[in-house]
Structure 1
């Protein structure tokens, strides 16, 4: 089954929300293969890796992850990528 990545810039948390909730809502959508938090260009970047049968299913899962995370934090940018030989190949959503 192919792997995909939802890559999000996550900024301000909603009032009363904790950083841990960002991961919790993503994991509530689908089983994640991995979860990573990094700083890129001075902003927090979160990567959620998951499996899907095809690009269509991956787009739906991506939308659900981003929608859930937006309930707890601002997400000014989110991209979907297929993982091919360990590298990200961005897809249109």
Structure 2
């Protein structure tokens, strides 16, 4: 089963929300049809970045998971940038979101 990454830049937490809400939202968006492989929060160029690595049956399945992750995290924080990528040979290859 292919592996994918959702990479989100998070700027501000919404009122009453904390970092744990961002993590919970990102982790719970990965459902029974997929497997959470890794979860990571980094600071890149002074901005928090959330990376969720998961398996998916295909690109369409990955797009659905990506959408759920974004929707969930946006309930806790502002997400100005997002990328969905397929992991190919250990590297990220962007996946078109409009297919």
TM range (shorter): over 0.9
Q: Structure 1 residue 41: deviation in Å?
A: 2.0
**2:3–2:87 CA contact under 8 A, matched in 1:** yes
SS of equivalent to 2:72: helix
Is 1:72 matched up with 2:76? yes
Moved over 4 A (4+): none
* 1:25 aligned residue: 25
RMSD of aligned residue pairs (Cα, Å): 0.9
Return the alpha-carbon distance in structure 2 between the equivalents of residues 38 and 28 of structure 1.
Answer: 19
TM-score by length of 2: 0.90
C-alpha offsets along residues 27-80 of structure 1, whole Å, 9 cap, x if unaligned?
111142101111212211110001100000000110110010000000000000
* 1:59 aligned residue: 63
SS of equivalent to 2:69: helix
TM-score by length of 1: 0.95
Q: Structure 1 residue 23: deviation in Å?
A: 1.0
* 1:4 aligned residue: 4
Q: Structure 1 residue 18: deviation in Å?
A: 0.9
